[in-house]
Amino acid sequence: MLVIAGIIKVKPESRAEAVRAAVKMATATHAEPGCTTYRFSADLEDPNTIYIFEEWESDEALMQHFQSPHMAEFNAAIPRFLAAPPSIDRFDVSGKVKMM
């Protein structure tokens, strides 16, 4: 399993546009084979900080995601609302244990 986790800082004046793009991206990505979780969320103290959290069944599924039309559209839109370069990390996970 792969986990992608990141932080996206958006310009306050572009936040609404960023949210619309994120919702559209998440909706399309949830339908992709191999996507278990794809979620954007706002920081509780700074609404202009948006987190992304993804879980993928395989590297192949993630690579297909990178080639999707909605990913290309999202990548074309994000420079308009970014306040800083995003920070995104990939984790290769050997297993998952439910804590609660």
- Residue 8 belongs to a domain: yes
Which of the four pLDDT bands, split at 50, 70 and 90, describes residue 96? confident
- Residue 71 belongs to a domain: yes
Q: Which residues contact 94 (CB under 8 A, 6 or more apart)?
A: 1
Which of the four pLDDT bands, split at 50, 70 and 90, describes residue 98? confident
pLDDT at 97 over 90: no
- Residue 73 belongs to a domain: yes
- For 24-59, how does the pLDDT look when each residue is reduced to its tens digit (9 = 90+)? 999 999 999 999 999 999 999 999 999 999 999 999
Query: Are the C-beta atoms of 2 and 62 separated by less than 8 Å?
Result: yes
What is the structure's pLDDT at 95? 85
- Residue 100 belongs to a domain: no
Return the CATH number at 46: 3.30.70.100
Q: Provide the residue range defining the domain that includes 52.
A: 2-92
Return the SS3 of 37.
strand
- Residue 99 belongs to a domain: no
What is the structure's pLDDT at 62? 97
Look at the chain and report how many structural domains it folds into: 1
- Residue 38 belongs to a domain: yes
- Residue 33 belongs to a domain: yes
- For 59-78, how does the pLDDT look when each residue is reduced to its tens digit (9 = 90+)? 999 999 999 999 999 999 99
